[in-house]
Amino acid sequence: MTFTPTAIRRAFDLDLALTAIAFKRRAAYKTQWLVGSLIGGTELLTSLALWSAVLAERGEVGGYDWDAMRTYYVLAFITATITFAGTEGLTAQRILDGMVAIDLLKPVDFQRARAAEYTGGVLGNLPTLGVGLTVSVLFLAPLPPVSFTAGALALLSVVLGVPLSFGLMFLSTMLCFWTRSYHGIMWSRRTITAFFSGLMVPLALMPAGLQAVVGWLPFVHIATTPSNIYLGRVDTAGALGLVALEAAWCVALWFIGRVLWNRAIKVVTVHGG
Amino acid sequence: MAANPASARHAAGVYRRSIGAYLRSIAEYPADFWVMAISGTFWQIVLFAFLSILFDNVNAIAGWGYHEMLILAGFLATSWGSTALFWDGIWDTGKLIIEGDMDYRITRPAPVLIQVASKHVGMQVFGDVTIGVLMMTVGWIGAGISAAAIPLALFLLLCAAVIQASLLTIANAANFWMKGRTPVVAFMLAELQNESMRFPLTIFPAAVRLIFTFGLPLAFASFIPVQIITGKLDLWWLAAPPIAAAATALLAVLAYRAGLKAYDSAGH
């Protein structure tokens, strides 16, 4: 393959096409958009009501005062909107009803195609994110980043959260090759992700032993890493280290996904033709 | 449908057989059962861990201590979780409407609501309720509430389960008018409850408290009963949950009936 601009663009034509389709699909379902905003908004407001009540009495918990906690949850809202982009149902359904047999016939890399669709889904979530962010900034006055570098690195961490979340989602979808229903797997993954990423409660509040273990899992980079960098709880060197670790997890999850996929298609049972 | 003992017995018989058939089918797909049961457990365990971590760092939230919060979380888990056991089929209402499947239920000689609600059992209930009861037990013992209050708690749990099943029915009935496979309103109700009702309503502004008490009577399904059990409310409040249960149940039946009247099939 020659590396002309046209050739490079053509190599990604399929990815762009799938991304565009997934984006349009997401954008077409306006009710889902509204529901997503309302649910995310409710979670944010409930967390804020809780911590407002607690911090009014105590002033500070786990190194977070009210300003920092408010900012933490606004950032958590942003990362949650990106993480739970919701294209997994389609993939899972295709495995469960056997349509994946057709996908196996297509000259398309399954994982790469799903990644493109996931990206489209995330982009489709951007309006929700935009509205939520505007409302949050206007009414909740989150803190600005401690420095420009911190802000830029935090943004990079959030962007890397997209392939990271995809990796986790893809792995959990693989389990559909071995079970008959996806709901339980999806709930478990969302629960584990929400808890170990810090979306439910800041990791700094967990016992030290648990924090040490959780820090090595991929989930932490979804919410805790960006907010730690943003709020200046780690210095620039620490921030770069965390982002590097996050990038390493993205790559690792991609390859683990490929290995699992190659095993899964050998065991797939498709009922009927 | 005439409201006489014979038809009520018939409805109960239909319900019992329908749910029984589904429970027997669990034995055919044990992997699914375990995946769902364990996933139900995960969420409740995470909630248990969340509360423990929270109270590792604070002493009380709006006057509620760790054990009282555990009772609240456990009560909600048990009452909401139990709807997945005895009323889970209602979530399929939207799908039945879109696919025109509702026709078969209407033509059968049994109440449509009973048929729909009993067609499915959410197996996550076994995880949800197990951990919910565990949380309530730990909270109960820690808060020093006497065992004499157990019948009271069981009665309140029953009222709560009825309220939640009724609200779930009304939310799913919205799909008769807002056509769509996914029960959007019901999801929002479930999310709202899981997010907000785990905490004492006193952390919310007054307007929100009013909405959750009288607008959407979710407070009667968790917050008020637990306040009665922990002694934060006088015992004469005991009249409130059963009245709320009866009122919401009536509204649910009326809403579903109105939906069925508005139903036009998908064509076959």
The tens digit of pLDDT for each residue in B156-173 reads 999 999 999 999 999 999
Q: Is residue A272 part of a domain?
A: no
Which residue on chain A is closest to B48 by alpha carbon? A195
Q: Is residue A205 part of a domain?
A: yes
pLDDT in tens, B234-268: 888 999 999 999 999 999 999 999 999 988 877 65
Which residue on chain A is closest to B189 by alpha carbon? A39
> Of A25, A26, A44, A183, which to mutate for an interface test with B (greatest number of B Cβ within 10 Å)?
A183
Q: Is residue A1 part of a domain?
A: no
Nearest-angstrom CA–CA distance, B187 and A32: 11
Q: Is residue A4 part of a domain?
A: no
Number of domains in chain A: 1
Nearest-CA distance from A175 to chain B in Å?
Answer: 11
Which residues, other chains included, contact A61 with Cβ-Cβ below 8 Å and sequence gap of 6+? A51, A54, A55, A69, A205, B57, B58
Number of Cβ within a 10 Å radius of residue B23:
12
Nearest-CA distance from A3 to chain B in Å?
Answer: 46
Which residue, A82, A142, A109, A99, is CA-closest to A15? Answer: A109
Nearest-CA distance from B123 to chain A in Å?
Answer: 9
Beta bridge partners of A60: A65
pLDDT band, very low/low/confident/very high, at B1 (cuts 50, 70, 90): very low
Beta bridge partners of B64: B61
3-state SS record for B226-268: HHHHCCCCCHHHHHHHHHHHHHHHHHHHHHHHHHHHHCCCCCC
DSSP code of B263? -
Nearest-CA distance from B163 to chain A in Å?
Answer: 22
**Smallest Cβ distance to A50: which of B32, B56, B61?**
B61
Contact A30, A128 (CB under 8 A): no
**Smallest Cβ distance to B188: which of A35, A49, A191?**
A35
Judged by CB atoms closer than 8 Å, whether chains meet at A53 and B39 is answered as no
Residue A230 structural domain: 12-267
Averaged over B33-54, what is the pLDDT? 86
Number of Cβ within a 10 Å radius of residue B116:
23
DSSP code of B197? T
Instruction: Give pLDDT, residue A166.
Output: 92
Judged by CB atoms closer than 8 Å, whether chains meet at B57 and A180 is answered as no
Q: Does residue B32 sit at the A interface (CB-CB below 8 Å)?
A: yes
Nearest-angstrom CA–CA distance, A199 and B167: 28
pLDDT in tens, B159-212: 999 999 999 999 999 999 887 778 888 988 888 888 888 899 888 888 888 888
Nearest-angstrom CA–CA distance, B93 and B231: 39
Judged by CB atoms closer than 8 Å, whether chains meet at B199 and A187 is answered as no
Q: Name every chain B residue with its beta carbon within 8 A of the beta carbon of A187.
A: 39-40, 42-43, 124
**Smallest Cβ distance to A181: which of B32, B57, B208?**
B32
Nearest-angstrom CA–CA distance, B174 and A33: 18
**Dihedral angle sign, alpha carbons of residues B21, B22, B23, B29:** positive
Q: Is residue A3 part of a domain?
A: no
**Dihedral angle sign, alpha carbons of residues B219, B225, B228, B229:** negative
Instruction: Give pLDDT, residue A88.
Output: 65
Contact B18, B115 (CB under 8 A): yes
Contact B218, B193 (CB under 8 A): yes
DSSP code of A142? P
DSSP code of B109? S
Q: Name every chain A residue with its beta carbon within 8 A of the beta carbon of B53.
A: 201, 205-207
Nearest-angstrom CA–CA distance, B112 and B108: 8
Nearest-angstrom CA–CA distance, A204 and A213: 13
- Using alpha carbons, list the distances in angstroms from residue B218 to B100, B111, B230: 32, 26, 18
Contact A74, A140 (CB under 8 A): yes
pLDDT in tens, B91-107: 999 989 988 888 989 99
Helix (H) or strand (E) holding A64: strand A64-65
Nearest-angstrom CA–CA distance, B78 and B135: 10
Judged by CB atoms closer than 8 Å, whether chains meet at B61 and A38 is answered as no
DSSP code of B64? B
Q: Does residue B181 sit at the A interface (CB-CB below 8 Å)?
A: no
Number of Cβ within a 10 Å radius of residue A217:
12
Q: Which residues of chain A have pLDDT under 50?
A: 273
Write down the number of H helices and E strands in chain A: 13, 2
Backbone phi, then psi, for B183, in 5-degree steps?
-80, 80
Chain A contacts to B (CB-CB under 8 A): 31-32, 35, 38-39, 42-43, 46, 49-50, 52-54, 57-58, 61-62, 178-181, 183-185, 187-188, 191-192, 194-195, 200-201, 205-207
Which residue, B162, B90, B164, is CA-closest to B120? Answer: B90
Averaged over B2-8, what is the pLDDT? 70
Q: Does residue B39 sit at the A interface (CB-CB below 8 Å)?
A: yes
- Using alpha carbons, list the distances in angstroms from residue A110 to A7, A18, A23, A248, A251: 22, 12, 18, 22, 17
Q: Is residue A186 part of a domain?
A: yes
Q: Is residue A7 part of a domain?
A: no
Judged by CB atoms closer than 8 Å, whether chains meet at A187 and B38 is answered as no
Q: Name every chain B residue with its beta carbon within 8 A of the beta carbon of A58.
A: 58
Residue appearing with tokens 């498709």: A270
pLDDT band, very low/low/confident/very high, at B23 (cuts 50, 70, 90): confident
Beta bridge partners of B61: B64
Q: Is residue A91 part of a domain?
A: yes
Instruction: Give pLDDT, residue B41.
Output: 85
Averaged over B10-23, what is the pLDDT? 86
Which residue on chain A is closest to B53 by alpha carbon? A206
Judged by CB atoms closer than 8 Å, whether chains meet at B57 and A46 is answered as no
Instruction: Give pLDDT, residue B268.
Output: 59
